[in-house]
């Protein structure tokens, strides 16, 4: 009888307890040359997690005396799939699969050309736990399905290499997001896989921003390096900036006088920034703007702003979460056609290219981490994970002018544990970044029918999700809600809406019809336009998106609250209603 560790030991994952890839391990990637590992990978469904249990990565084909051993894998005979992708949309037999998947490929590495360099593996995102192995060694693991992670693999590389990635999207109540969500739990490695070779001393991070409340005349430049000391030089040619800063204890910061043309949705002006540290150089395209709150007003570059927005998921009928840039541009073009100047990227960090494209195209962004519904607010490990995901997001997108709001969560019941959890996240976001606003999508207080949440004291802008006319069918509650509320901060209606199956018709009272959705939009807008403290809206949602919870005939495993069908071709009448409202501004 076979007596292997995977049978006898239940805590096999303790062998992979160390080497956690965290936000502190990320490296600034702007302008760097990378070696792509995208392409064809062999893969296997591994429902019982046998790869981790039996340590397939060791490739033990023979015993110590050279006799062949039976193995439960056959890397080169496995089928192939092109990564990055959401495997559910790539292979029909995997459409509903949740659980461990093993991906492997071989690649060559030029040891001579990269001699003396530090080499890092970067994965843009994989859902949800990732375990990385290289040439028979455990490298690192990462928790979180929507943010990038990196690890130094210099000492593990050889001329010919085998890499394994175990990607496991099994849901769990202690995770972020938790086991119960309202979107499709796509599997796989769905963002870029790449290697980057750097000098032994390199720039680890570069942050460039307009100094708040400086009369738009000062630019802060902060750098972090792998070495304790040295000089970083920075150039912004169009602003005639050529300066340097001294690095002490691995960090440096300077403030320079400048008068940049300010970035806005109407004038999305970007400047080329170059930073050099020894033999290392990075570049970025940065816009300079100031976002702030004054009383109940939101100000962009000192001018009052109404955020004409819409929510959007990172979900494609055809590619799942592995959107292409053309699909991202379709989102932006459709939002602009709607008259929007703003998008809420729900409910997790979207691909970094989305923010870069919004920088170029002139769309403001709310970016969010998946502290969604009933997170384990009393669990310290869950909090640490949420905070790390928030830091990974803020580190990745700090230089993006389009990003004006960090959101620390969505639709969480007010409790002591939740207040501590999300309040601490809000405090951390403020400490990390004083150039943006912090918000969260809060629930209405059902007892008082008012905008009332203890978390509001930690937020700059209050987000409110309300589905009056849909989940709360008595529409008289909406003006009551507004009249019962007296917030001292600006409010964004972060969600309202109604399902509408494309092409389904009936009366305004028939749930799921286009007429019902259209009527709810008209009534919502009629009230919202009269409320002085509402400074923006992001109705739910731009496109229909896939969701296993939605099993009714009018849904068909989709959330049908989109203004546009899931294939992006059919515009429901409510689209025109919202478009007409936005044209008033």
Q: Encoding tokens for residue 344?
A: 């809420």
Give the confidence band of 33 by pLDDT, cuts at 50, 70, 90. Answer: very high
CB–CB of 491/451 below 8 Å?
Answer: yes
Give the single-character DSSP code of 107: E
The pLDDT tens digits for 104-121 are 999 999 999 999 999 999
**What is the pLDDT at residue 11?**
87
Do 180 and 217 lie in one domain? The reply is: no
Its domain, for residue 311, covers 299-582
**Average of per-residue pLDDT across 154-164:** 97
**What is the pLDDT at residue 496?**
98
In a domain, 439, yes or no: yes
DSSP 3-state helix, strand, coil percentages of the chain (rounded to 5)? 25, 30, 45
**Average of per-residue pLDDT across 79-101:** 96
The pLDDT tens digits for 399-420 are 999 999 999 999 999 999 999 9
Q: Is 34 exposed, middle or buried (0-12, 13-18, 19+ CB in 10 A)?
A: middle
Which domain CATH number covers 516? 3.20.20.80
Is the pLDDT reported for residue 337 higher than 90? yes
Do 152 and 217 lie in one domain? The reply is: no
**Average of per-residue pLDDT across 528-550:** 97
**Vertex 488 angle, CA 485 and 494, to 5°:** 65
**Vertex 452 angle, CA 446 and 457, to 5°:** 155
| Helix (H) or strand (E) segment spanning residue 535 | strand 534-537
CB–CB of 189/142 below 8 Å?
Answer: no
In a domain, 271, yes or no: yes
In a domain, 294, yes or no: no
In a domain, 424, yes or no: yes
Which domain CATH number covers 71? 2.60.120.260
Is the pLDDT reported for residue 2 higher than 60? no
**Average of per-residue pLDDT across 447-459:** 96
Do 83 and 137 lie in one domain? The reply is: yes
Give the confidence band of 291 by pLDDT, cuts at 50, 70, 90. Answer: very high
Do 371 and 507 lie in one domain? The reply is: yes
Which domain CATH number covers 216? 2.60.40.10
In a domain, 575, yes or no: yes
Give the confidence band of 303 by pLDDT, cuts at 50, 70, 90. Answer: very high
**What is the pLDDT at residue 7?**
56
Which residue among 136, 162, 196 closes a domain? Answer: 196
Residue 149 φ then ψ, to 5°: -145, 155
The pLDDT tens digits for 189-226 are 999 999 999 999 999 999 999 999 999 999 999 999 99
> Looking at the 3D structure of the chain, how many domains does it have?
3
Is the pLDDT reported for residue 561 higher than 90? yes
Predicted TM-score (pTM) of this structure: 0.96
Do 401 and 519 lie in one domain? The reply is: yes
Which residue among 289, 324, 353 closes a domain? Answer: 289
In a domain, 269, yes or no: yes
**What is the pLDDT at residue 114?**
93
Do 326 and 447 lie in one domain? The reply is: yes
Do 375 and 426 lie in one domain? The reply is: yes
**What is the pLDDT at residue 1?**
38
Q: Is 396 exposed, middle or buried (0-12, 13-18, 19+ CB in 10 A)?
A: buried
Do 349 and 305 lie in one domain? The reply is: yes
Give the confidence band of 4 by pLDDT, cuts at 50, 70, 90. Answer: low
In a domain, 553, yes or no: yes
What average pLDDT does the chain have? 96
Do 358 and 224 lie in one domain? The reply is: no
**What is the pLDDT at residue 498?**
98
In a domain, 120, yes or no: yes
The pLDDT tens digits for 228-248 are 999 999 999 999 999 999 999
Do 141 and 123 lie in one domain? The reply is: yes
Do 404 and 474 lie in one domain? The reply is: yes
Please report, rounded to a whole number, the percentage of residues in the chain having pLDDT higher than 70.
98
Do 507 and 570 lie in one domain? The reply is: yes
**What is the pLDDT at residue 122?**
98
* Measured distance CA(489)–CA(51) in Å, rounded: 52
Is the pLDDT reported for residue 322 higher than 50? yes
Which residue among 168, 196, 224 closes a domain? Answer: 196
């Amino acid at each position: 009888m076979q007596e292997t560790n995977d049978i006898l030991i239940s805590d096999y994952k303790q062998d992979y307890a160390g080497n956690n890839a965290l936000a502190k391990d990320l490296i600034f990637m702007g302008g760097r040359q990378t070696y792509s590992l995208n392409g064809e990978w062999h893969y296997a469904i591994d429902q019982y997690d046998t790869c981790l249990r039996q340590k397939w990565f060791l490739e033990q084909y023979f015993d110590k005396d050279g006799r062949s051993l039976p193995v439960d894998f056959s890397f080169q005979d496995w089928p192939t799939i092109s990564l990055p992708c959401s495997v559910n949309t790539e292979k029909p037999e995997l459409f509903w699969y949740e659980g461990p998947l093993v991906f492997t490929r071989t690649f060559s590495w030029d040891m001579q050309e990269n001699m003396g360099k530090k080499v890092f593996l970067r994965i843009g995102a994989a859902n949800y736990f990732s375990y990385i192995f290289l040439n028979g060694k455990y490298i690192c693991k990462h928790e979180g399905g929507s943010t990038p992670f990196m690890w130094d693999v210099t000492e593990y590389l050889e001329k010919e290499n085998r890499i394994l990635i175990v990607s496991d999207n099994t849901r769990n109540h202690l995770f972020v997001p938790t086991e119960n969500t309202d979107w499709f739990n796509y599997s796989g490695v769905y963002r870029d896989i790449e290697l980057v070779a750097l000098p032994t001393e390199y720039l680890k991070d570069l942050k460039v921003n307009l100094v708040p409340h400086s009369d738009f005349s000062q630019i802060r430049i902060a750098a972090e390096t792998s070495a304790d000391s040295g000089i970083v030089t920075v150039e912004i040619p169009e602003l005639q900036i050529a300066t340097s800063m001294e690095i002490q204890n691995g960090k440096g910061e300077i403030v320079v006088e400048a008068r940049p043309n300010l970035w806005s949705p109407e004038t999305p002006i970007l400047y080329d920034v170059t930073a050099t540290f020894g033999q290392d150089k990075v570049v970025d395209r940065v816009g300079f703007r100031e976002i702030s709150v004054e009383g109940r007003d939101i100000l962009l570059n000192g001018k009052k702003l109404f955020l004409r927005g819409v929510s959007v998921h990172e979900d494609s009928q055809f590619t799942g979460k592995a959107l292409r840039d053309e699909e991202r541009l379709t989102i932006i073009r459709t939002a602009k056609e709607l008259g929007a100047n703003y998008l809420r990227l729900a409910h997790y960090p979207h691909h970094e290219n989305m923010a870069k494209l919004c920088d170029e195209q002139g769309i403001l962004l709310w970016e969010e981490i998946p502290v969604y519904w009933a997170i384990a607010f009393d669990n310290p490990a869950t909090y640490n994970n949420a905070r790390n995901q928030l830091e990974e997001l803020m580190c990745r997108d700090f230089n993006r002018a389009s990003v004006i709001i960090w959101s620390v969560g969505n639709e969480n019941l007010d409790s002591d544990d939740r207040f501590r959890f999300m309040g601490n996240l809000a405090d951390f976001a403020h400490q990390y970044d004083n150039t943006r606003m912090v918000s969260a999508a809060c629930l209405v207080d059902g007892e008082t029918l008012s905008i009332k949440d203890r978390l509001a004291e930690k937020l700059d802008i209050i987000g409110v999700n309300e589905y009056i006319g849909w989940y709360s069918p008595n529409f008289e509650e909406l003006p009551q809600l507004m009249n019962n509320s007296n917030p001292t901060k600006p409010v964004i209606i972060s969600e309202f809406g109604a399902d509408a199956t494309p092409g389904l018709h009936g009366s305004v009272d028939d749930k799921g019809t286009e007429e019902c959705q259209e009527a709810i939009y008209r009534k919502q807008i009629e009230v919202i336009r009269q409320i002085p403290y509402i400074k923006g809206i992001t109705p739910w949602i731009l496109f229909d998106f896939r969701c296993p919870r939605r099993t009714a005939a009018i849904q068909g495993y989709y959330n049908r609250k989109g203004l546009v069908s899931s294939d992006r071709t059919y515009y429901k009448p409510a689209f025109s209603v919202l478009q007409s409202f936005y044209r008033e501004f």
